[in-house]
A and B are shown apart, each in its own frame.
Chain A
Amino acid sequence: MATTQSRTLAKIMLFPSVSLLLAWMIVPLCMTLYFSVLDYNLLMPGDNEFIGFLNYEFFLTDPAFIESFFNTLLLVGGVLFITICGGIGLAVLLDQAIWGRNYVRIMVLAPFFVMPTVSALVWKNMFMNPVNGLFAHFAEFIGVTPIDFFAELPLLSIIIIVSWQWLPFAALILLTAIQSLDREQLEAADLDGAGPWSKFVYIVLPHLSRAVTAVILIETIFLLSIFAEILVTTSGGPGYSSTNITYLIYTQSLLQFDVGGGSAGGIVAVVIANIVAIFLMRLIGKNLEG
């Protein structure tokens, strides 16, 4: 069905988006590469001399670098785990016949609509604050010492906040997938005497694999550059325990307007992100096609 005419037309149709994205990617990328080999600090206009790989060396030998690298992986992995497990559970639940389905749905979807800065502030001040927060009040109510979330469990606190934001997204996609499940297959399994658990594991889960793949892919893209939540709550600390690569770039370079250093960090982040992407594609890429 792909005639030569439609092939050419197809190329023409593709042209705007591809060229725009190319420009969007190439131009800043080139500028960033260029700046990364300069000694360029916005606050100290000088000759911006060429210093080769010094910026990279500085960024990579930072004692915080290894820790932020692992924090980034933990952050992404943790949120993915919670949102996918929670999402599947929610999707199954929402698929059932219930009263007031519209209301339930909008309540589940709501966190996705809230701005990340607002979510972080609400969680920080109203819930996790060890003196005035609701969790603290609850702990006192049941007679335990309240947990100081951002001091004792900084990374976990951020994971909780971000998972809350992304859970609706995962639940939504997985709900759609469940709703497309072929009921006949399930009924056939019923006749074969399968219990609800084995039906879930052998029929529902495999069907969801494509949707899960989609969720993983999209969430990973966004989760690698989590920034606002960290800025507003822990500022990467205590120490470096809740700093991820994006935040490290910010504190190392942008905070002091070291454009050279920040650019080097940005390039490193791109390389890491692409490695993660290739890895992901190897792992689950087959699920996308077919």
Chain B
Amino acid sequence: MAIKDTKKSKLIYTLAAWSVSGMIFFPILWTIITSFKTESEAISASPSLFMFDWTLENYAEVLSRSPYFDHFMNSVVISLGASLLGLLIAIPAAWSMAFVQTKRTKNLLMWMLSTKMLPPVGVLIPIYLLFRDFGLLDTRIGLVIVMTLINLPIMVWMLYTYFREIPNEILEAARMDGAGIKQEIFQVLLPIALPGIASTLLLNVILAWNEAFWTLILTAANAAPLTAFIASYSSPEGLFYAKLSAASVMAVVPILILGWFSQKQLVRGLSFGAVK
């Protein structure tokens, strides 16, 4: 840009960036702060940012009421499981679509994306009946299957756009060196495509973690993930804002931590073919 990297412009931009991002982050910050307030403090007419009696009672209450760690483990298993399974299926699909272009590739991609357009409310009962008949209700496996299928189109598409950027020359060079298809994929393609694969994995973990429709309908006590944990705090009788905040913090913090450590990956990988 024309503006030189002077200290002054850096300061201005830093201030601007921090204020904007602060505003965006504020609701979350407010939730975290509220989780440490008492219930009456949480709805008080003059809310304060720091000056109040900090308390851990909400966290204690939430932990004693619900099996947080069971829910947590379910969320982890389901999100991770669905994303890994999805990768297993999506990588071959994306490879073939990226490197063996046919006329139908684009249409195929569009069709895959369109399967996501069927609103879940419309297929609620059919899926429920299917799951009941196959004994998949309230099982982690059942949810892993659903989560994989829901996000498969997105995974295929992300990987496809990423693979398409890998220059053919690298693969051809490998082929000239006598590499077979398997070696081509495992030793040449995957290492190069790792960033894209990683960010696809991450995005899907996030999407599966937050999915709040099927995870509520198809689970009962055994496979219920954190979304069900939150649903038990949404609008009970009596005051609940502080407890809800505590529960929300406990549900969101794991994924926030994951996001913190993987932000570079996410930024690098979500290019969608915009990288020249």
Name the residue among A21, A179, A224, A250 with the largest chain B CB count within 10 angstroms. A21
B275 lies within 8 A of A227 (CB): no
Q: Is A205 an interface residue (CB 8 A)?
A: no
Q: Is B95 an interface residue (CB 8 A)?
A: yes
Interface of B is mostly: helix
Interface of A is mostly: helix
A176 lies within 8 A of B122 (CB): no
Contact size range, B? 35 or more
Q: Which of A24, A105, A119 contacts B149 (CB 8 A)?
A: A24
Q: Which of A96, A105, A179, A266 contacts B121 (CB 8 A)?
A: A266
Residues of B within 8 A of A266 (CB): 118-119, 121-123
Q: Closest B-chain residue to A119, C-beta based?
A: B27
Give residues of chain A (201-249) contacting chain B, Cβ–Cβ below 8 Å: 207-208, 210-211, 214, 217-218, 221, 224-225, 227-228, 232, 245-246, 249
Minimum CB–CB distance from A181 to chain B (whole Å) comes to 8
Q: Is B190 an interface residue (CB 8 A)?
A: no
Q: Is A10 an interface residue (CB 8 A)?
A: yes
Instruction: Tell which of A12-20, A46-54, A60-68, A149-157 binds the partner.
Output: A12-20
**Known: A110-B256, A122-B248, A224-B119. Is A117-B274 also a contact (CB below 8 A)?**
no
Residues of A within 8 A of B244 (CB): 118, 121, 125
Interface string of B31-68 (1 = CB under 8 A from A): 10010000000010111000000000000000000000
- Chain A positions within 8 Å of B, measured between CB atoms, are 1-2, 5-7, 9-11, 13-14, 16-18, 20-21, 24-25, 27-29, 31-32, 35, 42, 90, 93-94, 96-100, 102, 104-119, 121-123, 125-127, 132, 134, 137, 164, 167-168, 172-173, 175-177, 179-180, 182, 186, 190, 195-196, 199, 207-208, 210-211, 214, 217-218, 221, 224-225, 227-228, 232, 245-246, 249-250, 254, 259, 262-263, 265-267, 269-270, 273-274, 277, 281, 285, 288-289
